Amino acid sequence: MVMKYLLFNEWKVMRILKSKELEESWINLIYPPKQLEGAILDLTVKRIYLFKKQGALDFGGSEYQSVDLEPLSPKFEDDPKYGWWSLSTGTYIVEYNESLPRNECLAIVSPHKRLLSTGCFHPSFVINPSGKSQPIQGLLSVNSQGVRIKENARISTVLTLKID
């Protein structure tokens, strides 16, 4: 699918990446045969963080203070290779394994249907890479009953667009 849009009086083309080109655009994929389906890529959990202390926002930015985070350690049970996080109700920061270093791409991240079926969710967000491989992080809201998440679990889906 190709979309045309006008940017500063110049027509640009944006298209959805699929298959091999999609796989080649992202780095640190855990297991591409499971993560890739057509034009959709599943993102996996690398780390989960707790909020350690509050942040601060002001109008001009001189008093801005980002929130401090504390990584949660997964607990290892039957599988010595991968641990589980047991999360109680609340909001967390999730860091993904994968990253998108290509600055000619744009990605739209949404919650995976399996995440939603656990009663948890995260807001959809856009990744606009700078050309460097930076960690991708997002908010995760956990339902009133809590949830268990295994390391490398697929919790988000992403649609990647290339600007030609």
Whole-number mean pLDDT of the chain?
A: 91
Beta-carbon contacts of residue 9 (< 8 Å; ≥ 6 apart): none
Mean pLDDT value of segment 108-120:
98
How confident is the model at residue 3, as a pLDDT? 62
Nearest CA among 145, 27, 20, 149 for reference residue 90: 145
Number of domains in the chain: 1
How confident is the model at residue 112, as a pLDDT? 98
User: Given a cut of 70, is residue 9 above it in pLDDT?
Assistant: no
* Residue 39 lies inside a defined structural domain of this protein: yes
Percent of the chain scored above 70 by pLDDT? 91
DSSP state of 75: B
- Please tell me the distance from the alpha carbon of residue 84 to that of residue 108, in angstroms, as a whole number: 27
Q: What is the pLDDT of residues 17-75, one digit of tens each?
A: 998 999 999 999 999 999 999 999 999 999 999 999 999 999 999 999 999 999 999 99
* Residue 81 lies inside a defined structural domain of this protein: yes
Domain, as residue range, for 159: 2-53+65-163
Q: What is the pLDDT of residues 83-102, one digit of tens each?
A: 999 999 999 999 999 999 87
| DSSP-assigned letters across all residues of 20-39 | HHHHHHSB--S-HHHHEETT
* Residue 74 lies inside a defined structural domain of this protein: yes
* Residue 41 lies inside a defined structural domain of this protein: yes
Q: What is the distance in angstroms between the CA of the first residue and the CA of the last residue of the chain?
A: 13
* Residue 86 lies inside a defined structural domain of this protein: yes
* Residue 58 lies inside a defined structural domain of this protein: no
Query: What CATH number does residue 91 fall under?
Result: 2.70.40.10
Specify the pTM: 0.89
Q: How confident is the model at residue 5 (pLDDT cuts 50, 70, 90)?
A: low
How confident is the model at residue 104, as a pLDDT? 86
Query: What is the number of residues in the chain?
Result: 164
Helix (H, G, I), strand (E, B) or coil at 3: strand
The label of the residue with tokens 């045309």 reads 4
